[in-house]
Structure 1
Amino acid sequence: MAVRQRAVATLPNLIRSLRKESLNLKPHTTSLPSLRRGFSLYDQINLIDQVPEDQLRFQGYNDTGFTVNGVQYEGSLLCVGNLLLSWKPKKFSEVIADSLSVFQILRPIPEILILGCGRHIEHVDPELQRYIRSTGMKLEAVDSRNAASTYNILNEEGRIVAAALIPYGVSS
């Protein structure tokens, strides 16, 4: 029991040190566009930099993956709230109802699913649209760069949001 308590106590410090190390590595990625509006009354308030440590935030992308909270991930990702999972589809045509079946058991259901289609916005098959609607979610299909930015905004607002992202370099 004492070993477990010691491990639980050291875990936050370990995570912080890994984040600091990964920030020093500076992976070659393209930064996401600024989430702040130009010429706004809110220019003096920057809520984006005040994100809690346990909250997921996309910080960049490249042709093969994404940078989330300072860590580079390769391949497709599925994010729900602050849960980050590797996702099987490698291109948009592989996104089918079965690849999103986690939403049949996940509670609470996200209010919106942001589908990052890769480099270009793709037409979502009507059958897939019906499946997503049957779970109770709304669907927004955009390119992966804008999907990551939209996820950041909605997640920081405290909304229950999900994102299914194909790497930006992929085009069908």
Structure 2
Amino acid sequence: MAARQKAVATLPNLIRSIRKDRRRPGLSQPLPSLRRAFSLYDQINLIDNVPEDQLRFQWYTETGFTVNGLDYEGSLLCVGDLLMSWSPKKFSEITPESLSIFQIIRPIPEILVLGCGRYIEPVNPELRQFIRSTGMKLEAVDSRNATSTYNILNEEGRIVAAALLPYGVSS
């Protein structure tokens, strides 16, 4: 019992002496490096860990796209993990008829990413109303950003569609 009381009595003195040693210049130790051999983010790389059956846009050109290692020329329509050739060659050819597949597919994608080519184009009210009538939201951006947006939403497991003109298309 006496040994325990002695240890408890010396504890405050020990703590004070440790604090004094840290305050003396010359005895301070450098902070540990924040650099590591690896980062936690290296383990969370979604882009490289996509299942093989999931569509992933890897590149775009003036005339087409590279999807899962295969080159496709012309416009593309993607719904979930389905990839189809799409008839519009320029933005003015995008009509409710060119997007009529969205009247029959189920489940309806929550968002349609519209790749307008090189530049963002204003979507006419008739087309906007058609897309809204299907239950989808619309995101109209240039085709480069449309492919990235599609990849991210698809990798998140969201039901997404993309209607993409090649990047070289301009009004």
Give the TM-score, by structure 2 length.
0.76
Q: Which residue type is aligned with residue 128 of structure 1?
A: L
Distance apart, 1:43 and its partner CA: 5.4
1:84 aligned partner: 83
Q: How far apart are the structure 2 equivalents of 1:58 and 1:123?
A: 24
Between the two proteins, the alignment pairs up a number of residues equal to: 133
Q: How far apart are the structure 2 equivalents of 1:94 and 1:67?
A: 23
| SS of residue matched to 1:63 | coil
Aligned-pair identity in percent equals: 82
Distance apart, 1:44 and its partner CA: 4.8
Q: How does 1:1-12 map to 2 (within 5 A)?
A: none
Structure 1: tracts of 5 or more residues without a match:
1-39
Structure 2: tracts of 5 or more residues without a match:
1-38
2:71 aligned partner: 72
Runs (4+) of structure 1 moved beyond 3 Å? Answer: 40-44
Q: Which residue type is aligned with residue 46 of structure 1?
A: N
Q: Which residue type is aligned with residue 55 of structure 1?
A: Q
1:137 aligned partner: 136
Deviation digits for residues 37-69 of structure 1, max 9, x if unmatched? xxx974552111000000000000000000000
Deviation digits for residues 12-57 of structure 1, max 9, x if unmatched? xxxxxxxxxxxxxxxxxxxxxxxxxxxx974552111000000000
2:30 aligned partner: none
Structure having the higher Rg: 2
Pairwise CA RMSD of aligned residues?
Answer: 1.2
Give the TM-score, by structure 1 length.
0.75
